[in-house]
Amino acid sequence: AQSVTQPDIHITVSEGASLELRCNYSYGATPYLFWYVQSPGQGLQLLLKYFSGDTLVQGIKGFEAEFKRSQSSFNLRKPSVHWSDAAEYFCAVTGTYKYIFGTGTRLKVLA
């Protein structure tokens, strides 16, 4: 069955520290993978996506993600977190008509 797992429900980091949010997926074919961010009271906004090619993809706001087929992972990273990055982050996979979202990781940033 298709699924997305985000094992960390909450993550707290200090401003300026590096960040890695984990995402594991289960999908029978080549997946299309996405990371979205949801700020409080807002809808979701796309950070980056992976379809094929270079396994390291760059997104907006200084985020990047690496696709590792052998590990079925698509982890999101940022070298230096800013206070404005506090939000909820969702990993998603699709390949047909349905998007499957992970349960989200809520990021808290300490000043």
Cβ nearer to other proteins, comparing 57 with 81? 57
- Which tokens go with 57? 């993809």
CA–CA distance, 40 with 105 (Å, rounded to integer): 13
CA–CA distance, 40 with 70 (Å, rounded to integer): 34
Yes or no: say if 72 and 12 are a contact pair by the CB < 8 Å rule. Answer: no
Cβ nearer to other proteins, comparing 34 with 78? 34
Interface with other proteins in residues 9-68 (CB under 8 A): 32, 34, 36, 41-46, 49, 51
- Out of 1, 40, 53, 97, name the contact with other proteins by CB under 8 A: 97
Q: Which residues bind other proteins (CB under 8 A)?
A: 32, 34, 36, 41-46, 49, 51, 90, 94-104
